[in-house]
Amino acid sequence: MNTFNTLSIGGVVIHIGVGSYKKLIADMDICHKILFVTDQGIISHQLHKAILSCLDENHLSYVIYDKTLPNPPLCQVNEVLELIAKENCEAILAMGGGSVIDLAKAAGILYTNGGELSEYIHSALNPRKFTKTALPLYSIPTSSGTGSEVTQYAVITDENTREKITIGSPLLVSKETALDPFFTLSMPASVTANSGIDALAHALEAYTSDRIINAKGSTLISDTLCLEAIRLILNNLPKAYHNGNDREARLNMQVASTMAGLITQAGSGAAHGLSHILTSRFDIPHGAAIGALLKNVLEYNLPVCKDRYEKIARYCGFSNAEGLIDQITSLLKEINIKPLGAYINEEDIETITPIALTDKCTIINARKLNLENISEIYRKSL
């Protein structure tokens, strides 16, 4: 008897539930050789064994790349490209968090389109466009944060400048993805917290971005996904954090993360925009950087987002906008999100503020920001 469900949304086939990875791998039977991309965390927890066993059962040939680093650098994109060419791989199976899936996405589309990744930077004034379909990507996320399995983006770190390169195209989305809670049970509490806050920020900022607040048409589809993702995260992140073996909470977090990933096109905001330089420059985990900033970004945006915050509050059962911010602040404390001062010093703020100001996510924040505003948010977050 099946213990999972399958549906297709936005061109991505999504398998949801325990054992769903088996259906995903069975669907790869048209591929003569597969590149399996993962990282040492997956290897050390031996989560890859179930995948390799299933590949063998389906008589699928594969080669493994297991060196993925957090915030993968450009050099790793080149390593994966070389392995694809050497082994004549026809598809990629990515198992891991956002870093693994982003690396697989970047390599898969660069392999078919050619050139340098820097030519395709999403925020550039006139970036080169991806015109050729990427290698088919099958993804098995093992964290619940980035939603990379369904987003049209991938983020790679330029190891020379210590800045992030974001590429974007509808051609980057997975062909199929499997949300199997079994593979999230061993996720450490800190990773559960960080990835969960990333997903929460995706949903909050997609609901309140400048392009949504000032939209001339209906935003009902993205609004609906955002609201339910926020509710699921607020209800299930504490459960998953305190009891990693709670499969229902784990699956709900996976679904919420994917829902939030599906509507990243709706926009983002300053929690992401101000965090990117923190992650690339100081190696702060992405969700930890967002979490350190989130309360102060929400409070900064309150004058222009109060109506939208009120709607979120009512949907989630809170009294008002301020009650929503209080609830999120309590959650950050409960899951031990550290203040920004645990990672940087006050003197660092002057250097990073101009870079944060030009980040594309900062530019579409609900309330406009300047150098003084950004510097103040950083200082309040220390």
Neighbouring-strand partners of residue 161: none
Q: Which residues contact 192 (CB under 8 A, 6 or more apart)?
A: 143, 144, 237, 240, 241, 244, 253, 335
**Maximum C-alpha span of the chain:** 59
- Would you state the pLDDT for residue 148? 93
> Cα-atom radius of gyration of the chain, to the nearest Å?
20
Domains 4-182 and 189-381 share a fold: no
The domain segmentation of the chain, as residue ranges, is: 4-182, 189-381
Give the pLDDT confidence score for residue 382 in this predicted structure: 96
Q: What is the pLDDT of residues 89-128, one digit of tens each?
A: 999 999 999 999 999 999 999 999 999 888 888 766 678 8
pLDDT given at position 164: 82
Q: What is the DSSP string of 112-129?
A: HH-S-GGGGBTTSSSPPP
Report the C-alpha gap between 381 and 375 in whole angstroms.
10
Query: Residue 18: what pLDDT?
Result: 93
Q: What is the pLDDT of residue 125?
A: 65
Q: Which long-range contacts (CB under 8 A, 24 or more apart) does 51-60 make?
A: 51/21, 51/25, 51/93, 51/95, 51/140, 54/21, 54/22, 54/25, 55/25, 55/93, 58/25, 58/26, 58/28, 58/29, 60/25, 60/28, 60/29, 60/31, 60/34
Topology, domain 189-381: Dehydroquinate synthase-like, alpha domain (1.20.1090)
Answer yes or no: are the C-beta atoms of 137 and 105 closer than 8 Å: yes
Residue 124: per-residue pLDDT: 60
Q: What would the two tokens of residue 32 be?
A: 């003569």
Secondary structure of residue 139 in the 3-state scheme: strand
Token representation of residue 209: 């971005």
Convert 261-324 into a string of H (helix), E (strand) and C (coil): HHCHHHCCCHHHHCCHHHHHHHCCCHHHHHHHHHHHHHHHHHHHHHHHHHHHHHHHCCCCHHHH
Return the SS3 of 99. Answer: helix
- Is beta strand 137-141 parallel, antiparallel or unpaired with respect to 61-65? unpaired
How many CB atoms sit inside 10 A of residue 319's CB? 12
Distances from the Cα of 87 to the Cα of 15, 80, 294, angstroms: 28, 11, 44
Each residue's pLDDT tens digit, 175-216: 999 999 999 999 999 999 999 999 999 999 999 999 888 888
Which residues of the chain are modeled with pLDDT < 70? 1-2, 123-125
Tokens standing for 23? 């259906």
Q: What would the two tokens of residue 154 be?
A: 């991938």
Topology of domain 4-182 in CATH is: Rossmann fold (3.40.50)
Q: Which sign, positive or negative, has the C-alpha torsion 278, 123, 209, 223?
A: negative
